[in-house]
A and B are shown apart, each in its own frame.
Chain A
Amino acid sequence: MHKEFLMGNAAIARGAIAAGLRVICGYPGTPSTEVLETTAKNNDGSIYVEWSVNEKAAMELGAGAAYCGARTMVTMKQVGLNVASDPLMSLEYIGVKGGMVIMVADDPGPISSQTEQDTRHFAAFSKLPCFDPSSVQEAYDMIQEAFEYSEKYGTPVFFRPTTRVCHGYASIEVKDKEDFAVCQPEGFVRDPSKWVIFPRLSYNAHMHIEKRNAELSDVFSGYSRNIVTPAQNKDCRKGIASHGISYTYVQEALEGKDAPAVFKVSTPFPFPEMAAVKFLTGLDEVLCIEELDPVIERELTYVCGKYHLPVRIYGKLTGHVKTAGENTCDSVAANIADFMGWEKPETAEPENVPELPVRPPVLCAGCPHRASFYAVKMAMKGKKSVFCGDIGCYTLGNAMPLDMVDTCLCMGAGVNITQGIGKIEPDTNCFAFVGDSTFFASAITGAVNAVYNQADMTLVILDNSTTAMTGHQPHPGTGMTMMGQVVDKVNIEAVLRGIGLKTVETVNPLELDKAIDTVKRVSAEKGVKAIIFKSPCAVLIKPEKPVTIDPDKCIQCRKCINSLGCPGIIIEDGKVAIDHALCTGCKLCTQVCPVNAIGGECNE
């Protein structure tokens, strides 16, 4: 053992490697991404690492590897689990041979997600055991135990950290290499009665799963991470139940206090019922402090009914804890003070604070998406149109002044939402914007649907040759894999032509006039047609020289600022200026300026 300072996601990866991991696959998504990336960085060559095209592909690949006896991990964020749920729901009936951990990162807040869905529910729904770590050290240790339980019981298991565990850092004890487990997969053993799902098999499997989960509830009641701590004062008849990062906030709040009984739930499913009975017995009132859904609160309420325990259970369902958003040290301390009848902890109540500048996330200076949105906006000026967006950096095209995202739902949804709007409003120019990685992940089927069903729309592919939003992961169009191979790129234009689109034009959005003309021309055609705006992510290329503003020419009309909203264009002493630290020299503003006052070397 030795100490290292690790991010939670790195600890999960390192723990999995110590458990003999052989295959890891997934799709990038905050806050889960660094698990797979850390594994790739620490790969001694014995692990197959893959960014899959989407979570469903990853889940299926992981299943195949686990059928062979390999220890396998599949990583994704909570909304990615929705994409992977089809194979997962059936996989639980089939089971696995090698340990298979499905690492799903939940995002209370939400900080960078569409939903506040709770994977602990998904565990109960899909009947998979679920592990919920509360610290970086625990994540490192628990992931190894998760592999053991998975293999012992022949089932995939969930490992469900939340953002503050994933992205928290701590100095933790990690194993030395000689203490790592070694996994030697047996290989695929043909047995159609085991690996081929049929109603008969499913019936038997269902019987087995329910029996096993009842047994696991007992096993988990003795699991060392489901902890019942008695009250410090034996006359105290109150208790607090918690989990995950919130448990550490509870610990902080109880530091130095006359603490009530505490129940830490590390396996929300199957719920450790007997441990809960032990905790509840002798108590009058219990406060449940949870993030996302009131899973523990419902379970404890159920246990009280089942075992006739006269305990009142409080939490989100009773209005004692807020129902949405993140918990904090302060919110938990306040909840506990209310519950215990303690004096409220002191909080800051600043007065006369000057108005703080808001810093909403914006497209970077030089981002080619800005040019793409602006080109479409100019081409459609005065025309009735709708702009359906999608998931990625380009969702930020919604911000003023671009204001070019009318809808955004989930990965790849924009294509068919556009189709639906077009069916009801046929006089509208319908546009769907989708990034290259999202196109591969889940917009191709949508495009097939649109072509087959005679949609009238323009599909705009924003191809910046990377998965930018989550930190620049490679994808099928980049020609790189996580195993370091250089491979043939999957060509988006060829894919679209293969689907049956007659018009597919590729244009550099930073050549503004050409881009606007292309949009006007292509969108006027009937049927489904596509424009590929191709220009690399500004973060990945060496910037050009910053542009300069000619003070004699500039008329201070601020058209550059008011139409583009580029962070590289600022107001200095009341005048338009270029922030040389940010400007990448993309020259979009040069093309927008009505008096040719902005230029690069041409201006000097």
Chain B
Amino acid sequence: MNKNILLCGVGGQGIVLTSKLTASCAMAKGLDVMSAETIGMAQKGGSVFSFLRLGEGIHSPMFGQKQADILIAFEPAEAVRMLPYLKDGGCAVVNMHPIKPVTASLKGSDYNGDEMIKYIAENVFETYFVDGDAMCRELGSPRVLNMVMLGQALRTGYLPFTVDDAVEAMKKTVKPQFAKLNEVALRYSAG
């Protein structure tokens, strides 16, 4: 069962770690994994994406447009940017909290994500909007956004593993002192 997963957002949101986690969950299930992502300049507030491919007979770590089964977007405008890669009938999990680029303050622009959310709602077959900010507040840390997003993606049923698999993989990936908080966030979000 092959899956194409696309994660996107803004540098610093924990997208790369989420991608690694998803990869190790898949590997634990015996699936082959390939991925490709932006590295480097992205840490400075740039757009970040990670292509992730699970399954057999995959050649390239990237895939073309209209090939993602699921889009996990940590930011609404970044979701729209990467929408061309989502399959017709694919599923999008989108954090509604916008991140303003520094250029927005300079130009006095009032980008607030609303237009993006409206566009996604009108153009994507199956969308799950996430109030990532509120969930992080409830959990007591802005640093668990990646766990919240992964948990929400697990709810959709599009990922070929369970929240227990994800917790297992997370414990092997993050520093021990963060494992407890991350587990709480994952389980809370995955429901």
**B-binding residues in A (CB < 8 A):** 3, 5, 30-31, 111-112, 135-136, 164, 167-171, 245, 248-249, 251-252, 255, 328-330, 333, 345-348, 350, 352-354, 356-364, 396, 400-401, 470-471, 558, 561-562, 565-567, 569-571, 574, 581
Number of interface residues of B (CB under 8 A): 51
Partner of B63 from the list A5, A252, A360, A571 (CB cut-off 8 Å) is A252
Query: Please, how many angstroms separate the alpha-carbon atoms of A328 and B49 in the complex?
Result: 15
Query: Looking across the interface, which residue of chain A has its beta carbon closest to that of B103?
Result: A358
Is B190 interfacial (CB 8 A cutoff)? no
**Least Cβ–Cβ distance between A129 and chain B, in angstroms:** 26
**Least Cβ–Cβ distance between B90 and chain A, in angstroms:** 11
Query: Please, how many angstroms separate the alpha-carbon atoms of A570 and B110 in the complex?
Result: 11
Do A5 and B108 have beta carbons less than 8 Å apart?
A: no
Query: Please, how many angstroms separate the alpha-carbon atoms of A169 and B104 in the complex?
Result: 34
Given contacts A252-B60, A252-B63, A363-B44, whether A5 and B27 have CB atoms under 8 Å apart is: yes
Do A567 and B61 have beta carbons less than 8 Å apart?
A: no
Is B101 interfacial (CB 8 A cutoff)? yes
**Least Cβ–Cβ distance between B1 and chain A, in angstroms:** 16
Query: Please, how many angstroms separate the alpha-carbon atoms of A168 and B23 in the complex?
Result: 13
**Least Cβ–Cβ distance between B99 and chain A, in angstroms:** 9
Query: Please, how many angstroms separate the alpha-carbon atoms of A329 and B67 in the complex?
Result: 11
Do A354 and B65 have beta carbons less than 8 Å apart?
A: no
Beyond A330-B65, A358-B101, A401-B106, 5 additional contacts (C-beta under 8 Å) are: A167-B36, A170-B61, A357-B103, A359-B46, A400-B106
Given contacts A164-B61, A357-B111, whether A169 and B44 have CB atoms under 8 Å apart is: no
Q: Which residues of B contact A558 (CB under 8 A)?
A: 108
**Least Cβ–Cβ distance between B75 and chain A, in angstroms:** 9
Residue among A255, A354, A364 with most chain B CB within 10 A: A354
Is B45 interfacial (CB 8 A cutoff)? yes
Q: Which residues of B contact A358 (CB under 8 A)?
A: 101, 103
Is B116 interfacial (CB 8 A cutoff)? yes
Q: Which residues of A contact B42 (CB under 8 A)?
A: 361
**Least Cβ–Cβ distance between A567 and chain B, in angstroms:** 4
Query: Please, how many angstroms separate the alpha-carbon atoms of A574 and B84 in the complex?
Result: 32
Q: Which residues of A contact B85 (CB under 8 A)?
A: 348
Do A248 and B59 have beta carbons less than 8 Å apart?
A: yes
Query: Please, how many angstroms separate the alpha-carbon atoms of A3 and B29 in the complex?
Result: 13
Within 8 A of A (CB), among B98-137: 100-106, 108-111, 115-116, 119, 123
Query: Looking across the interface, which residue of chain B has its beta carbon closest to that of A33?
Result: B40
Query: Please, how many angstroms separate the alpha-carbon atoms of A330 and B43 in the complex?
Result: 27
Given contacts A168-B36, A353-B80, whether A567 and B64 have CB atoms under 8 Å apart is: no
Given contacts A357-B100, A357-B103, A361-B44, whether A5 and B60 have CB atoms under 8 Å apart is: no
Do A164 and B39 have beta carbons less than 8 Å apart?
A: no
**Least Cβ–Cβ distance between B154 and chain A, in angstroms:** 20
**Least Cβ–Cβ distance between B66 and chain A, in angstroms:** 6
**Least Cβ–Cβ distance between B172 and chain A, in angstroms:** 11
Do B64 and A329 have beta carbons less than 8 Å apart?
A: yes
Do A346 and B102 have beta carbons less than 8 Å apart?
A: no
Do A5 and B24 have beta carbons less than 8 Å apart?
A: yes
Q: Which residues of A contact B84 (CB under 8 A)?
A: 347-348, 350
Query: Please, how many angstroms separate the alpha-carbon atoms of A245 and B42 in the complex?
Result: 22
Do A362 and B44 have beta carbons less than 8 Å apart?
A: yes
Do B41 and A361 have beta carbons less than 8 Å apart?
A: yes
Query: Looking across the interface, which residue of chain B has its beta carbon closest to that of A364?
Result: B44
Query: Please, how many angstroms separate the alpha-carbon atoms of A329 and B66 in the complex?
Result: 11
Do A561 and B106 have beta carbons less than 8 Å apart?
A: yes
Query: Please, how many angstroms separate the alpha-carbon atoms of A570 and B84 in the complex?
Result: 30
**Least Cβ–Cβ distance between B62 and chain A, in angstroms:** 6
**Least Cβ–Cβ distance between B105 and chain A, in angstroms:** 5
Is B168 interfacial (CB 8 A cutoff)? no
Q: Which residues of B contact A364 (CB under 8 A)?
A: 44
Is B47 interfacial (CB 8 A cutoff)? yes
Do A359 and B45 have beta carbons less than 8 Å apart?
A: yes
Query: Please, how many angstroms separate the alpha-carbon atoms of A361 and B45 in the complex?
Result: 6
Within 8 A of A (CB), among B43-60: 44-47, 57, 59-60
Do A169 and B34 have beta carbons less than 8 Å apart?
A: yes
Partner of A251 from the list B60, B77, B109, B142 (CB cut-off 8 Å) is B60
**Least Cβ–Cβ distance between B100 and chain A, in angstroms:** 6
Do A329 and B62 have beta carbons less than 8 Å apart?
A: yes
Given contacts A328-B62, A361-B45, A401-B106, whether A581 and B101 have CB atoms under 8 Å apart is: no
Do B101 and A31 have beta carbons less than 8 Å apart?
A: no
Given contacts A5-B24, A248-B59, A348-B84, whether A360 and B37 have CB atoms under 8 Å apart is: no
Given contacts A362-B44, A565-B106, whether A356 and B23 have CB atoms under 8 Å apart is: no
Query: Please, how many angstroms separate the alpha-carbon atoms of A473 and B101 in the complex?
Result: 28
Partner of A357 from the list B23, B62, B101 (CB cut-off 8 Å) is B101
Do B27 and A3 have beta carbons less than 8 Å apart?
A: yes
Query: Please, how many angstroms separate the alpha-carbon atoms of A578 and B35 in the complex?
Result: 36
Query: Looking across the interface, which residue of chain B has its beta carbon closest to that of A568?
Result: B102
Do A30 and B102 have beta carbons less than 8 Å apart?
A: no
Q: Which residues of A contact B66 (CB under 8 A)?
A: 346-348
Within 8 A of A (CB), among B154-183: none
Is B33 interfacial (CB 8 A cutoff)? yes
Q: Which residues of B contact A3 (CB under 8 A)?
A: 27
Query: Looking across the interface, which residue of chain B has its beta carbon closest to that of A170?
Result: B34
Given contacts A5-B27, A347-B84, A567-B102, whether A357 and B109 have CB atoms under 8 Å apart is: yes
11 A-B residue pairs with Cβ-Cβ distance under 8 Å, sorted by A, are A5-B27, A164-B36, A169-B33, A171-B33, A248-B61, A251-B60, A255-B57, A350-B83, A353-B80, A354-B115, A565-B106
Q: Which residues of A contact B70 (CB under 8 A)?
A: none
